[in-house]
Amino acid sequence: MCKNIGILTGGGDCPGLNAVIRGVVKSAIIRHGWQVIGIEDGFDGLLDLRKCIPLTLESVRGILPRGGTILGTTNRGNPFNYPVELDGKIVQKDISDRVVENIQTLGLDALIAVGGEGSLKIALELAKKGVQVVGVPKTIDNDLCETDFTFGYNTALETATDALDKLHTTAESHHRVMILEVMGRYAGWIALESGIAGGADVILIPEIPFDLARICSSIKERSARGSRFSIVVAAEGAFPAGGDRVVAKAADECQIIERLGGIGQYVAKQIEQCLDMDVRVTVLGHLQRGGSPTTFDRGLGSRFGTKAVQMIADGEFGRMACLKGRTITSVTIEEATRDLKLVDPEGEIVKTAEDLGIMMGR
């Protein structure tokens, strides 16, 4: 039977989204002879039918190496909690019925939602309202449960490791402490794995609240041993033991989640106060989300995209494609979004870092 399926990309963009879109469109058309509708700007696109456009083989030609998403995205716009103006004030309203109606108007047999924790939770709520949803896990943060990796993470790691290589040469020349602030929200994966790959001396992650006095002593000891520079990687969600996270912008009625940022400067100030060393901060920011996906992310995105189509063919709804070991399989979206996947402070990767002499903030 010829099906009509929709695909949207939600939440922060990341490299590999276009590989997923291409994988979905190619396998839906070539293998199954189905039609695909691309929905622009995440779930917002389902509130405006003009944002729902047919995708053809032509539409996805040449997009595999391109970063971003040809469909556009937003990390706002939850239809179950949508900001609307009422009597001059912004209030939250559940307008999800409009989304369901529009899905019916479009005649969609199924919807593929490509997103991180936030977007997949919305997909799950739509599934509860009867929409036949399939999820694809996306985020540079790699913090989604039930999948070994999300696509986008590997590219972000490459960018962060490259930045660390570059910071090393200038840190060494000037005998400075160089702090690199990386993304990752409440998970320390990017900081931990790029820090190991980039030869960092100190890595600060949200899962291990840090002790500044100990960080300063370790930098001092390094200097005493003749290494007159140090490289610190700070995850944006890292925080001092007994203290708070550094927030660049608090959550409000439009910005549903707080925006983290500023931990690099915070740590720099403290180190400068206790050590007689020059300290500089680099905030890597959205460079981690941009650019062409790595080979790994192109492959993973393509595999997730074709798997999502196969899941629709098999009637596997309310589930998310995932990677377990080297195999693509699926889990319920409920399981995948129950908790965040965080670094285990006593796990093998942290132990590797500490065995290498990297100071983990404790």
**Residue ranges that bind ligand F6P, judged by CB under 6 A:** 12, 75, 116, 139-141, 183-185, 236, 259-260, 289
CA-nearest of 37, 362, 328, 27 to 211 is: 362
141 included as an active-site residue: yes
- Nearest Cα to Cα of residue 184 among 152, 146, 143: 143
Tell me the closest approach of the beta carbon of residue 234 to ligand F6P, in angstroms. 13
- In whole angstroms, the minimum distance from the beta carbon of 161 to ligand F6P comes to 16
List phi, psi (to 5°) of 327: -110, 135
Sign of CA dihedral 96, 102, 105, 106: negative
Q: How far is the CB of 244 from ligand F6P (least distance, A)?
A: 16
Sequence-distant (6+) residues with CB within 8 A of 119 are: 10, 11, 42, 43, 113, 138
* Catalytic pick among 141, 143, 201, 297: 141
Rounded CA separation 28/313 (Å): 9
Instruction: Return the number of the residue (139 or 330) whose C-beta is nearest ligand F6P.
Output: 139
Number of Cα atoms under 13 Å in the Cβ half of residue 211: 7
Phi and psi torsions of 155, nearest 5°: -65, -40
Shortest Cβ 219–ligand F6P spacing (Å): 26
* Of residues 78 and 132, the one with the C-beta less far from ligand F6P: 78
Q: Which two tokens stand for residue 70?
A: 């040809």
Q: Which is nearer to ligand F6P, 183 or 215 (CB)?
A: 183
CB within 8 A of 261, min separation 6: which ones? 181, 236, 246, 247, 248, 249, 283
Cβ distance to ligand F6P smaller for residue 184 or 318: 184
The identity of residue 357, as a single letter, is G
> Shortest approach of ligand F6P to residue 16 CB, angstroms?
13
Which residue in the shown chain puts its C-beta closest to ligand F6P? 183
Range 269-273 contact pairs with CB under 8 angstroms and sequence separation of 24 or more: 270/212, 270/216, 271/177, 271/179, 271/212, 271/215, 271/216, 271/219, 271/232
Which residues are catalytic, by number? 141
